[in-house]
Amino acid sequence: MDTLSGLLQGFDVALSGTNLAMCIVGVLLGTVIGVLPGLGPPATIAMLLPLTMRLEPTGAMIMLAGIYYGAKYGGSTTSILLNVPGESASVVTCLDGYQMARKGRAGAALGISAIASFIAGTLGVVGLMLIAPPLAQLSLAFSAPEYFALMVIGLAMVVLLSGESLTKGLLAMLVGLWIATMGTDLFSATSRFTFGQTALLGGIDFIVVAIGIFAIGEVLANMEPQEPAGMLPVPKGLKNLLPTWQDMKDCRFAFVNGSLVGFIVGILPGAGSTIASFLSYGIEKAVSKHPEKFGTGAIEGVAAPEGANNAETAGSLVPLLTLGIPGSGTTAILLAALVLWGFKPGPLFISDTPALFWGLVASMYIGNVMLLILNLPLVAVFAQLLKIPAYAMYPLILGMALVGVYSDSSSMFKLGLLALFGALGYAMRKLHYPAAPLVLGLVLGDAMERALRQSLMMSQGDISILFRPIPAGLLLVAAVLLIVPLFKKFNAMRVQVLDQKA
């Protein structure tokens, strides 16, 4: 195919002075809003929409896309340094990223997340460029039963995320699933668990729960006088901050895993980058030779999800550009922008406007390089944040968390929820309940329930629809995920018994 000539044409478009400037502005803005908790790409792009109406469409599209993928680079920063997820897709980065920072490896964590983002982001664009049309067909082949099975795999990962006690992990997950049911039910338009509160009709925002449990919970736990709270160690010099060659080798699989999982989940309308990052983290842990290190600062645990949420961006552009189907809030705004500029997004979009498509693809290659160059030196700057003493650090985290939640919604009710989930996070910490399964249940619960009910509506209540080939295969994977650790446990017990007999 004439991919090469298209790409050359694209670089011609993307390297023009204005478009290059647009790309820089986009990725810079994206990084900044990624770093700020609460403010995400959909809100930012929506706010900029009026402004872009005065710009030339190709340049404007390049800028908006830059914000979209740039934000994924910035999202990990506060997750790693402060345990405050900057973006919902960076929640899972808190698990190992923050632990790495506590061990003085914040620089390596920040560095690897930039590198993983770059690799996966670039591979994602390659995928978008080469195989978008056939992949678009894949997104259509996936229907409710397939989504359901995918979500079951996600939930089975609770086994991997629960730490020492599976029971406690499952309990936390159930609370997450329960929170996910709150709000207005899509199917019957009736409200569930809203306790008569108008503010709860919209359900509980995932990011409020995540920031509450991770950030506020962390601050509360650290306020107890345990040991003299010293400053976190920060090695000197950029060279010592960046990931070592060994780190890069450890992350080889994580780069591939993140790119693939992120891109594939991105193609599926309605799945989203948060699910992509959780799935790739779970897969990384499942295949790891040292799964016990996950949650205590494993570098792969940062690389995989950060890669996944970047590849997801490119993936989500596939149905948008090839079919005219937006799979998320951000792509819906991009679609609207295209219509406003006078384009006709739909199956003929690429053949109608090749210059825009190829210009966008080329700009994404350029943008990813820019982001890498931008982010690596910033590692040194951000790492210095950890030198802040505890008495200033914890108020800073609290402030970031409060501002993040409030700026998104200007709702006092949500600040109340934040406090509530902060207290819950603290209690869970004291009682040794893992937080990740709760968050996982909340992320997946809604989508899984929906997929199950859609499946059963399609089959008129016949459950066998869940066992057609693709979902059956996926469910089998989930079953293996659940059963293998039980065998390991059984084996360990057997060995113990044998030892006692001997």
Partner 1 sequence: MTYAQKMVRAVAVSTALMCVSGNVHAQWKPTKTVDMIVHTGPGGGSDLLARVIATMMEKEKLLPVRMQVLNRAGGNGAVAAAAIAERKDDPHTIGLVTSVWIAGPLTSSEAKVTLHDLKPVAGLLMDPAVFAVRADSPYKTLREFIEAAKAQPGQLKQSGGSVTSRDNIIRQSLQAATGARWAFVSFPGGGERVAALLGGHVDIMVIEPQEAGEQVRAGKMRVLAQLSDRPLPGYPGVPTLKEAGYDVKATPQIRAVVAPPGVSNEVVAYWEDLFAKLRATPSWKKYVEDNQLEDHFTNSAELSKMIKQIEDELRTQYQAAGIKVVR
Q: In the complex, which residues of this chain contact partner 1 (CB under 8 A)? A: 42-43, 45-47, 49-50, 53, 139-144, 183-184, 186-191, 194, 196-203, 269-270, 319, 323-333, 336, 339-340, 342, 344-349, 410, 450, 453-454, 457-458, 460
Q: CA separation (Å) from 59 to 19, 43, 323, 330, 367?
A: 5, 20, 22, 18, 13
CB 354, min distance to partner 1, A: 16
Measured from the CB atom, the residue of 259 and 331 that comes closer to partner 1 is 331
CB 409, min distance to partner 1, A: 8
Give the end-to-end CA distance of the chain in Å, rounded to a whole number. 69
Measured from the CB atom, the residue of 118 and 142 that comes closer to partner 1 is 142
CB 349, min distance to partner 1, A: 8
Positive or negative: CA dihedral 459, 463, 464, 465: positive
Q: Please check whether residue 101 is in contact with residue 109, taking contact to mean a CB–CB distance below 8 angstroms.
A: yes
CB 410, min distance to partner 1, A: 8
Measured from the CB atom, the residue of 199 and 477 that comes closer to partner 1 is 199
CB 335, min distance to partner 1, A: 8
Q: Please check whether residue 159 is in contact with residue 481, taking contact to mean a CB–CB distance below 8 angstroms.
A: yes
Q: Which of 336, 323, 291, 277 is nearest to 79 (CA)?
A: 277
Positive or negative: CA dihedral 151, 36, 337, 8: negative
d(C-alpha 210, C-alpha 84), whole Å: 8
CB 351, min distance to partner 1, A: 9
CB 403, min distance to partner 1, A: 17
Measured from the CB atom, the residue of 259 and 353 that comes closer to partner 1 is 353
d(C-alpha 342, C-alpha 322), whole Å: 17
| ∠ CA 487-493-498, rounded to 5° | 125
Q: CA gyration radius for the chain?
A: 23
Measured from the CB atom, the residue of 270 and 354 that comes closer to partner 1 is 270
Measured from the CB atom, the residue of 267 and 475 that comes closer to partner 1 is 267
Backbone torsions φ then ψ of 301, nearest 5 degrees: -70, -15
d(C-alpha 317, C-alpha 333), whole Å: 12
Measured from the CB atom, the residue of 143 and 296 that comes closer to partner 1 is 143
Q: Can you point out the beta strands (E) in 344-499?
A: none
